[in-house]
Amino acid sequence: MTLARTRTAGEVAIGDSLPEERIEATPTFIVSTAIATRDFQDVHHDRDLAHAKGSKDIFLNILTTTGLVQRYVTDWAGPEALVRGVSIKLGVPCYAYDALTMHGQVLERGDGVFVVEVLGRNQLGTHVTGRVRLELPEEDR
């Protein structure tokens, strides 16, 4: 991936939409990101144990989902954007072999900080609703 030039505050307006991004939740992706976030809960690694606990399959953990929301916004904003906060609410699970489609929109601006709303959906419905607060430089560098 090539890093984009950082967007400046003057280039972003309330109501701007972020480009859609599709993420394939392969079993390898789910297991490796759970391990990378030190989440050893078996429902993120072991299909048989996930089934035994009533789950359809292994599924993304909350730390991975939080990281995906943040990365989605920073990929759009550029490498000099400063993340000031991320908050999410989980909905339906994102199981192995699901595709997670991310959508975003700039909701507000205040005190030099923008708020971007992010929705991540799969075939079951909304997996994540989040808000990312970020600061952008005032002028092109």
**DSSP helix, strand, coil percent of the chain (3-state; round to 5):** 25, 40, 35
Query: Which of these, 83, 114, 102, 101, lies nearest to 15 by C-alpha position?
Result: 114
Write down the pTM of the prediction. Answer: 0.92
Mean pLDDT by 10 residues, the chain (141 residues): 73 96 96 90 85 93 97 95 97 97 96 94 98 89 52
DSSP output for 44-60: GT-HHHHHHTT-SS-B-
* Contact present, 79 and 100 (Cβ < 8 Å): no
Q: In this predicted structure, what is the pLDDT of residue 71?
A: 97
Instruction: Tally the C-alpha atoms within 13 A of residue 21's C-alpha that lie toward its C-beta.
Output: 19
Q: In this predicted structure, what is the pLDDT of residue 1?
A: 40
Distance, CA of 86 to CA of 106 (rounded, Å): 14
CA distances from residue 59 to 3, 5, 66 in whole angstroms, order as listed: 29, 34, 14
| Count of Cβ atoms closer than 10 Å to residue 53 Cβ | 10
Query: Which of these, 140, 137, 134, lies nearest to 114 by C-alpha position?
Result: 134
